[in-house]
Each structure stands twice: as structure tokens, then as C-alpha cells.
Chains A and B, each alone.
Chain A
Amino acid sequence: MKSIQTYNIKSYTYRVKSIWVVCCISLLFSCKKTELGPQCISCDETPITNTTSSDVLILNEGNFGWSNASISIYNKESHSLHNNVFKNANNGVSLGDVAQSFLQIDDKGYIVVNNSGKIEVVNTNDFKSVATINGFNSPRFMLKINSQKAYVTDLYSSFIQIVNLQSNTIVGNIPTPGWTEQLVLLNDTAYVCDMKNNNILLINANNDQLIDSIKVGISPNSIVLDKNNQIWVLCSGGFSQENARLFQFNPSNRSVEKILTFSNINDSPNSLCASGNKDELFFINNHVYKVLISDTVIPATPIISTNGNIFYGLGIDPENNDIYVADAVDYVQNGIVFRYSSSGSLITYFTTGLIPSKFWFIH
């Protein structure tokens, strides 16, 4: 009995030794083939089944060149949240970077991916990719003109690209002086922010011809329509080059109706949004401010204070005027989205993907 035990121990130590040897050798020569490229420790992996009109899309820019842009879907009724929606719906394929803007046309979603130079076309119910529109340089924002075509502005090219919505290809372009940014459509005319020359470009949407340009302030970064079909343009003033200004532009006589000037030269407002019934405007200037279209001065007190966070993106729910604010934290970790009521009281907050910046209220 004893000898058997000794034998067993011996064979055991022998086995342990050989395991060590095998282990050492295999470790030295092993190379993991399964993991290649960035890996996530704790990521949402459940694909979204069907989006509803109570879903809010959050576009997470991702880092420039890191290919980590993503989409989050938050349900404002159930408070449920899905992150990595695009990746999970498309077999783990990453979206690219930098996700710049989102546009919904009927049941199709268009994700403009700036540095990757493409627009991903997805079904808005399950976010499966149906097409990729390639050939852009540095696309920024997209505007539907009619069921056939859309315009896409660009950071580095001197064109607005014309996209055919049926074939999902670029079919033409409109020469511009340079960087074009946000744009809106009113009565067959597209109004485009021209960041290079600080103008609003007027484009005839029927024949795609540039018809006029109107001087505004330095860096017209956002543009919205109000309920009276007046066009509001927010100019950040550049890098403290001039005071930031909010322009009210009357398209019927192509003249500037009103200018609201920011008092501090260091103010750098952005992300102009309109409320549901388009009589209130919101923007970020460190804090979140609300201005009525009838106001003549920029309000002194914000509706939402940063409280030490860094507000990077803004969205207003057209249904109930809830205010969504994105905080990118340090830009290298998952960001936070705060949801406030229209009066500015915090309803909830949740963690999204890297650098949340734009919102879209799915309809």
C-alpha cells in the first residue's frame, strides 16, 4: 500500500514536472490567433431587435484614426440602453471613425463617418448595413433634398457631394469655396454653413446651382429653422477672433433680421438646436442655454449648468423638449449622456460609447 502511494507521488511529481516542461515550451511557442485588434472587456453584445419611435439614437464619434465610433440606442420610455448597436448588428464589423452625423430618411439611417470617408446606410429598425456610400473625402452632414437625392457637406473638399438615394452612389457635386458644415432646406433652397469664408451659401436644390452667399460671423457652425421659417445661424467667433454671434436670417428677402452678440470674447458657442415647435433655441456655451426666438439678447443664466462636466453634444427631443447633453469625459473612455426635462431638471444619465456627440430621435 505504502509503496503504491510512493509510486503515485513519484509519478505525480513526474507528471507535474512534465506538465511544467510542456507548459513552458508551449508558452514559449504559443501565439494566440484568436485575439487580433482591439478587444472589449465589458461591451454590450446583444443586437437590437426593433427600434421604436420612443428610441433615441446617440452617435458616438470615436477617436480620430482609432476606428471606434459606435451607436447607442436609448429608449426614453423603458430607459433601456443598447450600446455598440452597429457592431452587434453587423457581425462585429466596426463602424470606423469619426461618426460625424446621422440622418434618418424613412426607414433608412445614414451614418456619416468622417475620417473613414464613407456613409453607412442602415435599416433603422435593426441597424443592419444595407449599403456603404464611398468616395467622400471628409464628409460632415447630410441633407435630404427629395426622395431621389441628398447633399453631403465636406470638411476638406471644395464640393458638396450629391448622393443618389436610390443607387447609394455619388452622382455629382456642387463646387464650394471649401469647408461646408451644417445645412437646412427651405422651399427648394439649401442654406449651407460655409466655414471657410464665414458665409451662408444658398443653393438651388432643383438645379444644384450656387445662387447666393450671405456674410455672417466667423465660424458658422450650426444652422436651424424656426416656426416662422426664419433661419438661425450660430457663429462661434473662431478662436477668440471676434465675439460669437447668433444670426436670424430672413430667407424671403435674404437679409439679416437680428443679431444676438455674446458678451465675452472667449465664448465659443456651438450645437444650436430647435425645440419641438421651433419657437425656442438651445445651444452649448460651456453650459446649456435656451433662447426664445423673440429674445433680443443672449440670456445671462444657463438652463443647465455643467457642474464640472464637459458638454460636448446637445439634442432636443421634438416630442417633449427633453434636453439630452453628451459628456465625452476625457475623450478616451465611454462617455455619459444626461437627460434633462425641458425645464432643466435631471431625469437620468447613462454611459454610452466613446465621445457621444449627436442625437437623433427616431420617428
Chain B
Amino acid sequence: MRRFGVLILCLISSVLTFAQNKYSDTTITVKTFELIDKKVSKHYKKTVIDSVSIHESQNLSEVIQNHSSVFIKDYGPSGLSSISFRGTGASHTQIQWNGVLLNSPMNGQIDFSLFPTVFYNNVELNHGATSLLDRNGALGGSVNIFSTPNFEKKYSGLVRQSVGSFGTFKTEVSTSYNTNGLLLENQVYTFTAQNDFEYKNSSKLNFPVEQQKNAEMVQYGVQQGIYKKLKSGWIGGRVWWFDSNRNLPSVLTKAYANEKQKDQSIRTVLEYQIFKNKFSLKASTGFVNDNLIYEDKSTKLFSKSKSYLIDNTINTMFNLNKKLNIINQFNLRFESANSSGFSETKKATHSSWLTGVVFEFDRTQFNAINRFLVVNNQVNALSPSFGGKHQILFKEKLFIKANVGINYHYPTLNDLYWNPGGNPMLKPEQSEMSDVGFNYSKSFQNHSVELDVLGFYNFVNNWILWTPTSSGYWLPANLKEVENKGFEAMLSTTSTYKKIKLSFNLNYAYTKSTNTKANSEFDNSLDKQLIYVPFHKLNTTATINFKNTSLFYNYSFTGSRYISTDNNWYMPEYFLHQIGVSQQIRWNKLAFIVNFKITNLLNQDYQAMAYRPMPGRNYLFSVSVKF
């Protein structure tokens, strides 16, 4: 602990001295319409990840692991991967793809290892109350992945082949063609890996080195988009088809593993965005079909589940006058799922209407909104939120900001109907969310710096927990009350000297997440940290660009996590280093790029989740052609 504090101090002080004399415009802002979410969300906490960092990673899980302060529950290569914001659970994290909420209607979760990075250009993490503008239900936060149609170029393309350790082969193709404002784009992706890495088996005497078994994986995907530019907006849509087949490695204490899983998804979205003087509108309708087939040959377990969802959203904003905007959002979502765990096809309907006002003064911005919810015919008229920011100094971009809100997460179809155990009487989980902090940014000449520090406090009521019963099956109940508090800090700097561009990025989160309700007098979990919530998560990336060469160094630290609710057992902390270099060679209109990346540079043995081994030092080499 103390060691870590020292480390933080060192890093911050070294960065601050560095920051004093350099820095220019830093954030890679996405050129998009100044729409509701963009406009209002200025005073909320967002982590925006640039497209270079996105495409350097294998999947969304890795993007988030390396570029944010959010903790990933990573079961290792070929295993599942879920994320946890501010001490909340996996189903409290939402993921939106071009405005469509993708979380499984069944368990409310999403596997972040199933999102190849070639399929989107933007990743934004909305921490805490930020997500309230998009949806209700993200008690921790949400992840938005999206692609913005680029009408500026006539045609563009990228072909990349990567080869890496443990039998990794990846091919990515991305092309786009634009004629008279009609844009066609296409991405193709294939990935195979053996994942037969060696690890130290911590469950055996003297930690013998063993080889990971049953972790092979194959993924394919195609995405096709078509967009038409309009006079003041655009219309279009895309289709995402993805197929993943993987063997699931077991815990390292188990002698054999025979589990495998197939995930198949078809996702389509139609989008319409229009922006006029005083009015803007963004509408989307999504259709998603997810199939999951799980098989365990040794236990002869076979389960198949199929879910469908239709997700419609309309966002509007009226500019009443210079100072006052009115926002409205309508959302209608149908869910349906069929599984061997259900007696019949189960359905749910979620609808909501968000309405609010946004005031804009010279140095102050303030918004007040309410969301009116109707979920499965239950009406919930009040989930308000308020937020604002104020520029403290006239000449400096120093803002203070604060947000409060109430958020509801409704039980999923599994919670309600799983047979056995499902409990139709469950109440929605409720979170009172708040945060307060400041943002400071400054640019001068070739340098820029941005610092964002935010303290948060959330209180989650009626947290749904599945627990085993003496009758041999699991039952969900509104069991827990949880208090989450902590702070998140972000520091980002860039500076340019002639042809050299330096950038540095740091994200840190301190999370104290405690259980505030004891279920019996012998319950030792009262006031203890929740399991798998690290107190500390930090990562930093430094990048140097010189002419056509770039070099990055990424360092991430994940603090120890308790794994028992009485806080008697924990998983040790781990540090990961990653280094990458890329060289671009231009030839006529073509650019050839060679990348080389070393992950877990110091070959650290670690486990993010108990008894799930992670690979040691590994390499990835890739060659791309771009036009």
C-alpha cells in the first residue's frame, strides 16, 4: 500500500514537472455533431480513447485494460472478460454500439472479448452519472463504441496481417468508398489463437510450469455500412455479423477441461442524424440477435440460448434561445430470450422518456433532467439528475463540476425467470449517484495539458445477488446495500518540438466499495470491501512520434483485490508493461506500416481472477497497407 502511494507520488511529480514547460492541444476530439449527449456531457466524467490506441489493441477488453482506470475481470485468453466501474457489478456496466444497447437480456452482461477493434473508431467510457443521459441502468458506467461516417475521403482502405505468440494470427481489412455523398464501408476480421502459453501453477507445490490447455479460439466477423449524406445530417445503417468459437480453459486446479462456447451475433442499426439551427435530432433503431451455445463434454452439459432485442431511441434538442436548450429522449426496447433455463420464451419491454433543460451562461452550464420509466408495465415516474460546471477563473480553463442523479437497474430475464431460482418479485436495483471535481486544461504554443480529478459517491440499494440455498439451487434476491466512493484522476499532455510529438496519458482510480448491510449477526462482510474491486487501478501511456516512427510505452497497475467478502483472502497486485513501435513507409499513395509490440514485457506471472493463469511475455508483429 505505502509502496503504491510512493509510486503514485513519483509519477505525478515527475509528470507535473514535465508538464510545466510543454503541452498543446491534447484530446483527440471526435468530429461529430454537437448533439445532446456531447453538449450536456461536458461536465461529466468521460474517458475518450483515441483511434490509434483502439486499433493497437486486440479487443475492447484490452483497450479498456490499457487505457482507462476501469478494472477488467479477465479470465485469461479465450476466457470471458467483464468490466466493473466504480465498484459495481458486471451487469451494471452497459455497452452501446452506435447507440444500441447490447447488454444481454438474459444476464445483463456483455463479454468484452467479443468486440474486435477494427469494427469501430471511437471508444468512450462514461463514468457514473454520465451514463444517465444515454440510459438508465448503468449503475457503474457505460462504454460507447461507435463509428462516425467519414464523408471527407473518396476512398480509403487498410489491410493488416498480424502474427503473434501462442499461435496468434489476425487479419483485418477495412475499406470505404464514397461517391456523391453515398458512403459504403466494409470491415472483415478473422482471428485464431492457440493460447498454449506456459504459466506457473500456483496451486501445486513449488509452482511447476505448465502449459495452458483447452484455450484455442477462432473468431470471424464482417461489418457492412452504408450512409447517405444529407443537407444537414446523414442517414444510414450498418450490419455486424460475428462468430466466435472457443474452448474455455478451466481453473488451474482442475486436471482436465472440456468446455467450449460458441457466440454468434447479428446486429443491425439504422441511424438518422439531423442538425439545424435550433433543432437537432438523432434517431436510431437497432435489431440484435445473440446466440450462445455452451457445451461441456465431460459433464454432458449442453445449453443453448437465443436472444433478440429491438432497441429504438430518439434524441431531440431545441435551442429555445442562447441560454436555454430543451432535451427529450424516447427509448423503447423489446427483449426476448429463449434458453434451456426458461420454461418458455421470456419477454420484457423497457421504455423511457427523458426530458430536461440545459442552461448555458458565459461561465456556467447547468442541466436538470428527469427520466420517466415504464418497465414491464411498472411505472417509475421519477429518476431525476442534475449537473453543472462553472469556470472559476476568467482567463484560465479551470472548471468545477458536480453531478447527482438517481438510477435504476431492472432485474434481467434470468433474475426473473430462470428455472429454477428466478424470482419475479425482485425489485429494481437503485443507485444514488454523485460526483464532484474539477477540470483544468491549458494550451500554449506547442504544448497542452489537461487534468481532471473527480470524487464520487454512490449508494446502491436492493443490489440483486444470486446465492446458493440448502435446496441445491441458486436464488436471486435484493440482498445487498453497497456504498461506493473514491476518486478518479486523469492527466493528459502533449507537446511538439519540430517533428517530435510527445504525449502522455495517465488514468488512476481509487475505489472504496463497501457492503453496508449484514444479513445475519455472523455476517463478517459488513463494512468490508466488495470482492474483485481493486482499491487502486492505474495506467499510463507515453507516446513519441517522430516523422513516420512512433513508439509507445504502456504501464498499468492493478492493486490487490479481495476475493472473500470477509476480506480474508485476496489476489495480489500486478504490474504490466507493454512496449510497441511502429514504422510507416510511404510509397505513392500507399502507406506501409510495420508494428511490433511486446506485452507483459517483464514476464510477470499473475492472475487477474483466482486460479486463472495469464500469459507471460508475448509478442505481436503486424504489417499493414493503407491507402
Do residues B569 and A40 form an inter-chain contact, with CB atoms below 8 A?
Answer: yes
Quote the shortest CB–CB distance from A163 to chain B (angstroms). Answer: 17
CB of A217 within 8 A of chain B? no
Do residues B570 and A41 form an inter-chain contact, with CB atoms below 8 A?
Answer: yes
Quote the shortest CB–CB distance from B222 to chain A (angstroms). Answer: 34
Do residues A41 and B419 form an inter-chain contact, with CB atoms below 8 A?
Answer: no
Do residues B524 and A333 form an inter-chain contact, with CB atoms below 8 A?
Answer: yes
A-side interface residues, number (CB < 8 Å): 65
Q: Which of B119-167 contact A (CB under 8 A)?
A: none
Quote the shortest CB–CB distance from B114 to chain A (angstroms). Answer: 21
Q: Which of B508-541 contact A (CB under 8 A)?
A: 519-525, 531
Do residues A156 and B568 form an inter-chain contact, with CB atoms below 8 A?
Answer: no
Q: Which of A8-43 contact B (CB under 8 A)?
A: 20, 23-24, 27-33, 35-43
Q: Which of B463-491 contact A (CB under 8 A)?
A: 465, 467-473
Do residues A24 and B572 form an inter-chain contact, with CB atoms below 8 A?
Answer: no
Q: Which candidate, B57-65, B187-195, B199-207, B231-239, is the interface stretch facing chain A?
A: B199-207
With a cutoff of 8 Å between Cβ atoms, the chain A residues found around residue B568 in the complex are: 40-43, 333-334
Do residues B564 and A332 form an inter-chain contact, with CB atoms below 8 A?
Answer: yes
CB of A137 within 8 A of chain B? yes
Do residues A115 and B254 form an inter-chain contact, with CB atoms below 8 A?
Answer: yes
CB of A116 within 8 A of chain B? yes
One of A37, A116, A134, A327 near B202 (C-beta < 8 A): A37
Do residues A116 and B420 form an inter-chain contact, with CB atoms below 8 A?
Answer: no
Which residue among A31, A155, A311, A312 has the maximum number of chain B CB atoms within 10 Å of its CB?
A: A31
Do residues B520 and A310 form an inter-chain contact, with CB atoms below 8 A?
Answer: yes
CB of A177 within 8 A of chain B? no
With a cutoff of 8 Å between Cβ atoms, the chain A residues found around residue B565 in the complex are: 330, 332-333
CB of A118 within 8 A of chain B? yes
CB of B566 within 8 A of chain A? yes
Q: Which of B441-475 contact A (CB under 8 A)?
A: 465, 467-473
B566, closest chain A residue (CB): A333
CB of B255 within 8 A of chain A? yes
One of B252, B253, B520, B570 near A329 (C-beta < 8 A): B520
What is the bound-complex CA distance between A115 and B568, given in angstroms? 23
With a cutoff of 8 Å between Cβ atoms, the chain B residues found around residue A332 in the complex are: 525, 531, 564-565
Q: Which candidate, B346-354, B499-507, B581-589, B605-613, is the interface stretch facing chain A?
A: B605-613
What is the bound-complex CA distance between A349 and B522, given in angstroms? 10
With a cutoff of 8 Å between Cβ atoms, the chain A residues found around residue B555 in the complex are: 28
With a cutoff of 8 Å between Cβ atoms, the chain A residues found around residue B301 in the complex are: 156
Which residue among B10, B564, B570 has the maximum number of chain A CB atoms within 10 Å of its CB?
A: B564
**A96-138: contact bitstring with B at CB < 8 Å (1 yes, 0 no)?**
1100000000000000000111100000000000000010011
Known: A29-B602, A330-B467. Contact between A39 and B572, CB under 8 A? yes
One of A68, A93, A137, A271 near B204 (C-beta < 8 A): A93
Known: A311-B470, A327-B522. Contact between A239 and B255, CB under 8 A? no
Do residues B519 and A329 form an inter-chain contact, with CB atoms below 8 A?
Answer: yes
CB of B571 within 8 A of chain A? yes
With a cutoff of 8 Å between Cβ atoms, the chain A residues found around residue B573 in the complex are: 32
A-B interface pairs (CB < 8 A), number: 171
- What does DSSP make chain A's interface, helix, strand, loop or mixed? loop
Which residue among B420, B522, B567, B572 has the maximum number of chain A CB atoms within 10 Å of its CB?
A: B522
CB of A161 within 8 A of chain B? no
Quote the shortest CB–CB distance from B559 to chain A (angstroms). Answer: 12
**A307-334: contact bitstring with B at CB < 8 Å (1 yes, 0 no)?**
0111111000000000000011111111
What is the bound-complex CA distance between A236 and B473, given in angstroms? 12
One of A31, A91, A221, A329 near B575 (C-beta < 8 A): A31
Do residues B570 and A28 form an inter-chain contact, with CB atoms below 8 A?
Answer: no
**B71-92: contact bitstring with A at CB < 8 Å (1 yes, 0 no)?**
0000000000000000000000
Do residues B522 and A329 form an inter-chain contact, with CB atoms below 8 A?
Answer: yes
Do residues A155 and B14 form an inter-chain contact, with CB atoms below 8 A?
Answer: no
Q: Which of A238-295 contact B (CB under 8 A)?
A: 239, 268, 270-271, 284, 286
With a cutoff of 8 Å between Cβ atoms, the chain A residues found around residue B472 in the complex are: 221, 236, 270
Quote the shortest CB–CB distance from A158 to chain B (angstroms). Answer: 8
What is the bound-complex CA distance between A30 and B255, given in angstroms? 32
With a cutoff of 8 Å between Cβ atoms, the chain A residues found around residue B378 in the complex are: none
With a cutoff of 8 Å between Cβ atoms, the chain B residues found around residue A43 in the complex are: 568
Known: A66-B610, A236-B471, A333-B566. 20 other contacts (CB 8 A): A23-B6, A24-B14, A31-B574, A38-B570, A39-B572, A67-B611, A97-B251, A115-B254, A116-B255, A137-B299, A284-B470, A327-B520, A329-B519, A329-B520, A330-B519, A330-B565, A332-B525, A332-B565, A334-B564, A354-B564
Question: Can you pick out 16 interface pairs between chain A and chain B where the beta carbons lie within 8 Å of each other?
Answer: A28-B555, A39-B571, A42-B568, A67-B611, A91-B205, A134-B255, A137-B298, A155-B299, A236-B471, A239-B471, A268-B469, A286-B470, A308-B519, A329-B523, A332-B565, A334-B524
